[in-house]
Amino acid sequence: DGGITQSPKYLFRKEGQNVTLSCEQNLNHDAMYWYRQDPGQGLRLIYYSQIVNDFQKGDIAEGYSVSREKKESFPLTVTSAQKNPTAFYLCASSITESTDTQYFGPGTRLTVL
């Protein structure tokens, strides 16, 4: 099956811990994105990557880090510096960064206890 997957679906973290969310795609897309969605709000861009070994900060990058060592994978680490990490995290990919159509994964719900 072609698509974009995220794991885990639900994640619980204690305050002060770092946690990494996985995002994998087998669509051969160059560009990948991480968004955060909070109840009643729109999506906000955290980081995006146009190509392997390159990534750029989005609107709310503070407290997050990413890597793009492989084309298929774009993991997001939520660090202890992120003040309000409880949210729904969505990963997306597109053929190139200039292409409008983004395909979204199923999301990961992170809850900080």
Partner 1 sequence: EDKVVQSPLSLVVHEGDTVTLNCSYEVTNFRSLLWYKQEKKAPTFLFMLTSSGIEKKSGRLSSILDKKELSSILNITATQTGDSAIYLCAVEALTNFGNEKLTFGTGTRLTIIP
Q: Which residues bind partner 1 (CB under 8 A)?
A: 10, 33, 35, 37, 39-45, 48, 58-59, 88, 90, 97, 100-102, 104, 106-107, 109, 111
C-alpha–C-alpha distance, residues 61 and 82, integer Å = 9
Q: What is the smallest separation between the CB atom of 1 and partner 1, expressed in angstroms?
A: 13
Q: What is the smallest separation between the CB atom of 6 and partner 1, expressed in angstroms?
A: 11
Which residues touch 106 (CB under 8 Å, ≥6 apart)?
Answer: 5, 6, 9
DSSP 81: T
Q: For residue 33, which phi and psi values (nearest 5 degrees)?
A: -140, 150
Q: What is the smallest separation between the CB atom of 19 and partner 1, expressed in angstroms?
A: 16
Nearer to partner 1, 34 or 71 (CB): 34
